[in-house]
């Protein structure tokens, strides 16, 4: 067993370079992660299912190949969210319905990731069917925030974000519908990117034409996120919306940062009110950009029409995916999941038509703004990480939310537009909790977005004070 905790401090790109130089092996990395997980997982619960035996077997197979043939990731370990199938590994989707399920085949996205040198060693925790901004379920329990174990890690990719923050992952696969990559990134002080629909392919799916739910990369910095995006993207058989890999890698773009000339800043996209402390930190970030020569202008963008449209389209997705599950297993489902499915089942054609029209209007409105600005920036969450005992947020910043997901409007409004969005950390609260911003790019504009995000990351500089309590 070869354990080197100093490797945890290295970036994913640095670790891949070490793998290519054969200065370390995938086995060294797996042993180090196993040791770190033994230290922190009893407190954090980010990676409830470990599959190190399978990972070492995969590493052995990789090491039989010449280094040049070991793929883009060259043996870098990657955890997979528990919504996504990995062959031979327990995959529960956070639900008692699937608590003993072990799929025989992997999701197409996992197969692609492994073909490019990723080594799967764990499943990251998620709320049941990914249905919320707080990671807890009846199978594995709650995932805690590494910065403060009494607080939520966000959701639904909360396990992935907490693993990154607690040193049990260099990069992580996640997914996003209402903000599931972006909210946990903000809560845990990491980076999460929601790419354009089709940029990252996966399946099979009940509705392979869905453009709301997507998979994307998570990492501790923008460049590492770009590395994982390269490993995840490309055309996949059976994924009708999948896009081709770009001629120039996203990693190359991230390594050539280009500061945006004009930035639009919105306090809440016209749909959300943000906690004053978060807003103050985000405004300080805008001041840093301005001081460094970036033109930052206030935006009056109003995406307030998104709420009803999002609920409708999300409801259709839940009904499509889980109607049969509700009929067979109502007695063991989370009440929020039941509400989601039933809401979708009762929708009529008029509501569906209205939602599609609203979505189009929101896209054109944001697209028009992005013709005048390089990027749009707004807060990534309206609240700081909340106590783990709170199952959802119903009241915050003087607002009462009718549903358990409406506190996520600042993220789900952007979901409807289909624009690529990256969440990056930008500061710390007085209580030592991370705060993040969302940076929104043009349609299918991941390359330019990564260039801008990396430049902004450089301008912001060191934002964290200390390390997570469990690191």
Q: Please, are residues 450 and 217 in contact by the beta-carbon 8 Å criterion?
A: no
Beta strands in 40-118 (DSSP E): 49-50, 77-81
Q: Is residue 293 part of a domain?
A: yes
Paired sense of beta strands 214-219 and 191-194, if any: antiparallel
Residue 462 predicted with pLDDT over 80? no
- Kindly state the tokens that stand for 314: 């999300």
Looking at residue 1, what is its pLDDT?
66
List CB contacts of 148: < 8 A, sequence separation 6 or more: 385, 431, 432, 433, 469
SS3 335: helix
Q: Is residue 78 part of a domain?
A: yes
Q: Please, are residues 179 and 408 in contact by the beta-carbon 8 Å criterion?
A: yes
What average pLDDT score do residues 298-312 get? 98
Q: Is residue 470 part of a domain?
A: no
SS3 16: helix
Residue 364 predicted with pLDDT over 70? yes
CA distances from 388 to 154, 155, 322, 407 (A): 9, 12, 27, 16
Looking at residue 463, what is its pLDDT?
60
Q: Please, are residues 436 and 385 in contact by the beta-carbon 8 Å criterion?
A: no
Q: How far apart (Å, rounded) are the C-alpha atoms in residues 130 and 81?
A: 10
| Bridge partner list, 152 | 144
Give 311-362 pLDDT, tens digit per residue.
999 999 999 999 999 999 999 999 999 999 999 999 999 999 999 999 999 9
Of 49-63, 76-90, 235-249, 277-291, minimum mean pLDDT range: 235-249
- Kindly state the tokens that stand for 70: 């070991």
- Kindly state the tokens that stand for 166: 């607690």
Q: Where in the sequence numbering do the catalytic residues fall?
A: 81, 156, 180
Domain of 184 in residue numbering reads as 5-460
Q: Is residue 447 part of a domain?
A: yes
Give 16-53 pLDDT, tens digit per residue.
999 999 999 999 999 999 999 999 999 999 999 999 99
Q: Is residue 469 part of a domain?
A: no
Q: How far apart (Å, rounded) are the C-alpha atoms in residues 302 and 369?
A: 11
Average pLDDT, the chain: 97
Q: Is residue 465 part of a domain?
A: no
Q: Is residue 471 part of a domain?
A: no
Give 412-446 pLDDT, tens digit per residue.
999 999 999 999 999 999 999 999 999 999 999 99
Give 206-262 pLDDT, tens digit per residue.
999 999 999 999 999 999 999 999 999 999 888 999 999 999 999 999 999 999 999
Q: How far apart (Å, rounded) are the C-alpha atoms in residues 421 and 462?
A: 22
CA distances from 191 to 176, 218, 219, 226 (A): 13, 6, 5, 10
Looking at residue 338, what is its pLDDT?
97
Structurally, how many domains does the chain consist of?
Answer: 1
Q: Is residue 467 part of a domain?
A: no
Residue 275 CB burial class (10 angstroms; 0-12, 13-18, ≥19) = middle
Cα dihedral 423, 428, 430, 432 sign = positive
Residue 465 predicted with pLDDT over 70? no
Residue 141 predicted with pLDDT over 90? yes
Residue 188 predicted with pLDDT over 80? yes
Cis check: omega of the bond before 204, within 30 degrees of 0: yes
Alpha helices in 171-305 (DSSP H): 182-188, 222-232, 250-254, 276-291
Looking at residue 471, what is its pLDDT?
75
What average pLDDT score do residues 286-296 get? 97
Q: Please, are residues 453 and 439 in contact by the beta-carbon 8 Å criterion?
A: yes
Q: Please, are residues 124 and 86 in contact by the beta-carbon 8 Å criterion?
A: no
Residue 132 predicted with pLDDT over 90? yes
Looking at residue 114, what is its pLDDT?
98
Looking at residue 394, what is its pLDDT?
96
**CATH number of residue 133's parent domain:** 3.90.1300.10
- Kindly state the tokens that stand for 328: 């067979």
């Amino acid at each position: 067993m070869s354990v080197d905790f100093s490797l945890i401090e290295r970036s994913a790109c640095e670790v891949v370079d070490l793998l290519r130089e054969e200065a370390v092996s995938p086995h060294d990395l797996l042993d180090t992660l196993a040791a770190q997980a033994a230290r922190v997982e009893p407190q954090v619960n980010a990676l409830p299912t470990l599959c190190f035996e399978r990972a070492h077997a995969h590493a052995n197979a990789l090491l039989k190949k010449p280094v040049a043939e070991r793929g883009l990731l060259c043996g870098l370990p990657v955890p997979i969210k528990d919504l996504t199938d990995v062959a031979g590994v327990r995959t529960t989707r956070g639900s008692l319905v699937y608590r003993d399920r072990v799929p025989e085949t992997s999701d197409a996205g996992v197969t692609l990731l492994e073909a490019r040198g990723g080594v799967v060693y764990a499943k990251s925790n998620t709320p049941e069917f990914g249905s919320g901004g707080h990671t807890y379920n009846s199978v594995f329990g709650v995932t805690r925030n590494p910065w403060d174990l009494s607080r939520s890690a966000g959701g639904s990719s909360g396990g992935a974000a907490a693993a990154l923050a607690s040193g049990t992952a260099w990069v992580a696969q996640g997914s996003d519908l209402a903000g599931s990559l972006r909210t946990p990134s903000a809560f845990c002080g990491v980076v999460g990117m929601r790419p354009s629909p089709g940029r990252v392919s996966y399946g099979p799916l009940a509705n392979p034409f869905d453009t709301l739910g997507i998979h994307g990369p998570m990492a501790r910095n923008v460049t590492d996120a770009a590395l994982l995006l390269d490993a995840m993207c490309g055309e996949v058989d059976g994924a009708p919306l999948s896009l081709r890999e770009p001629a120039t890698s996203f990693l190359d773009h991230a390594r050539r940062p280009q500061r945006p000339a004009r930035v639009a800043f919105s306090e809440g996209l016209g749909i959300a009110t943000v906690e004053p402390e978060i807003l103050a930190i985000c405004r300080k970030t805008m001041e840093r950009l301005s001081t460094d020569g970036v033109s930052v202008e206030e935006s009056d963008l109003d995406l307030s029409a998104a709420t009803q449209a999002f609920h409708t389209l999300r409801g259709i997705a839940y009904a499509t995916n889980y109607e049969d599950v509700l009929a067979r297993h109502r007695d063991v489902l989370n009440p929020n999941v039941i509400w989601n499915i039933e809401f979708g089942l009762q929708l009529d054609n008029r509501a569906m038509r209205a939602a599609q029209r609203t979505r189009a209007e929101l896209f054109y409105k944001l697209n028009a703004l992005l013709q005048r600005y390089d990027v749009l920036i707004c807060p990534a969450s309206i609240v700081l990480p909340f106590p783990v005992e709170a199952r959802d947020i119903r009241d915050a910043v003087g607002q009462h939310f009718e549903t358990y997901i409406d506190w996520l409007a600042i993220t789900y409004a952007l979901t409807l537009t289909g624009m690529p969005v990256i969440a990056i950390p930008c500061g710390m609260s007085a209580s030592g909790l991370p705060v993040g911003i969302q940076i929104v790019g043009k349609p299918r504009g991941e390359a330019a977005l990564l260039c801008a995000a990396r430049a902004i990351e450089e301008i912001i500089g060191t934002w964290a004070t200390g390390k997570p309590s469990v690191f």
